């Protein structure tokens, strides 16, 4: 593949987020990288793409900073440049949850990390545990761990509202998962703060697991927040995504052509329309009316 995509995060106190942002922006630009990086007082979270040589160089330089030395940078390939541009920003949080910092701060307290090897063993031993998928609902649709629970989050901010659905799991062994692990640091910490007794988070997320065990236990594809939309690491897999309209198996995403809706959903080849696909008759009517108005 022509491009390599880096995925990295760390919760660590950054006293000077602006300085780190400026460095990332400068170096990534010089190396012609694209992607998105967030820097906050609580840490760094990013995904960058470029040639193998340049992304490797960036990763080496990032890890040369003692604050980031133990980051486990995850990598994947892409046939094309998956990002339209480079965006590096300072934010209040590196994952937008709006949990109060007194309650949820992964630098102080978070659930223990479960290595992929352990999860594989749990599956093999038929251990009594539950996987809770902390990604957004639409990400879950194209692929997920077998038997996992989908709290149907529209956004990482929704977890407190979804908590009622997870209440029955309070005394169970719960493993939270997300794409690369950054969301679970907060999500699992939140579950602990809510009195869940035995919570783990999957080390390096689904990405890390699929790299080690392609085609195992995780069904379908992994959603990505770039032009690839989904990816895998080889291995046999079944398609678990189903068309929002007709239920046919599919892994193709589309946005509702009604810009005021913009729902992100799975669509099959037969239901996809070249002149714009709508999630509902209401959205289609909405656009048709405004055209004629």
Instruction: Say if CB 201 and CB 101 are below 8 A apart.
Output: no
Among 96, 263, 264, 276, binds Zn ion (CB under 5 A): 263
Does the protein bind Zn ion through residue 183 (CB under 5 A)?
Answer: no
Options 5, 119, 174, 256; binder of Zn ion; rule CB under 5 A: 256
Whose CA is closest to 105, among 31, 57, 43, 177? 43
User: Which of 178, 184, 243, 268 is the catalytic position?
Assistant: 178
The interface region with Zn ion, picked from 8-16, 96-104, 199-207, 238-246 by CB under 5 A, is 238-246
Q: Does 243 bind Zn ion (CB under 5 A)?
A: yes
Q: Is 239 in the site for Zn ion (CB under 5 A)?
A: no
List for the chain the helix, strand, coil content (%; round to 5). 30, 25, 45
Q: Is 279 one of the annotated active-site residues of the chain?
A: no
Residue 52, CA atoms < 13 Å, CB-side half-sphere:
6
Question: Whose Cβ is closer to Zn ion: residue 72's or residue 280's?
Answer: 280
Least separation in angstroms between CB 279 and Zn ion? 3
Q: Residues touching Zn ion: how many (CB under 5 A)?
A: 12
Choice from 74, 185, 268, 277 touching Zn ion (CB under 5 A):
268
User: What does the alpha-carbon distance between residue 167 and residue 185 come to, in Å, rounded to a whole number?
Assistant: 19
Rule CB under 5 A: is residue 198 a binding residue for Zn ion? no
Is 279 a residue that touches Zn ion (CB under 5 A)? Answer: yes
| Three-class secondary structure assignment of 192-243 | HHCCCCEEEEECCHHHHHHHHCCCCCEEECEECCCCCCEECCCCCCCCCCEC
Close Cβ partners of 257 (under 8 Å, ≥ 6 residues apart): 276, 277, 278, 283, 284, 287
Shorter beta-carbon distance to Zn ion: residue 2 or 285: 285
- What minimum distance in Å lies between the beta carbon of 253 and Zn ion? 13
Give the residue numbers marked as catalytic. Answer: 178
Binding site for Zn ion (CB under 5 A): 243, 245-246, 248, 256, 258, 261, 263, 268, 271, 279, 283
């Amino acid at each position: 593949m022509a491009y390599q995509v880096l995925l990295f995060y760390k919760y660590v106190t950054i006293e000077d987020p602006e300085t780190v942002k400026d460095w990332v922006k400068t170096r990534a630009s010089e190396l012609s990288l694209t992607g998105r990086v967030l820097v906050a007082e609580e840490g760094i979270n990013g995904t960058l793409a470029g040639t193998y040589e340049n992304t490797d160089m960036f990763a080496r330089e990032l890890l040369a900073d003692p604050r980031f030395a133990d980051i486990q940078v995850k990598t994947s390939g892409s046939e094309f440049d998956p990002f339209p541009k480079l965006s590096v920003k300072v934010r209040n949080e590196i994952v937008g949850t709006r949990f109060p910092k007194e309650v949820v701060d992964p630098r102080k307290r978070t659930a223990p990390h479960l290595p992929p090897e352990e999860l594989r063993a749990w599956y093999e031993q038929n251990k009594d545990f539950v996987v809770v998928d902390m990604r957004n609902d639409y990400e879950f649709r194209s692929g997920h761990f077998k038997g996992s629970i989908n709290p149907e989050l529209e956004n990482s901010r929704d977890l407190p509202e979804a908590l009622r659905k997870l209440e029955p799991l309070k005394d169970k062994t719960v493993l939270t998962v997300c794409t690369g692990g950054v969301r679970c640091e907060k999500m699992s910490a939140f579950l602990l703060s809510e009195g869940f007794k035995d919570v783990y988070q999957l080390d390096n997320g689904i990405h890390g697991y699929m790299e080690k065990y392609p085609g195992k236990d995780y069904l379908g594809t992994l959603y990505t927040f770039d032009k690839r939309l989904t990816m895998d690491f080889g291995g046999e897999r079944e398609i678990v995504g189903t068309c929002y309209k007709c239920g046919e198996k599919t892994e193709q995403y589309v946005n509702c052509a009604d810009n005021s809706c913009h729902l992100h959903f799975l669509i099959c080849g037969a239901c996809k329309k070249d002149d714009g696909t709508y999630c509902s008759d209401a959205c289609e009517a909405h656009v048709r009316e405004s055209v004629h108005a």
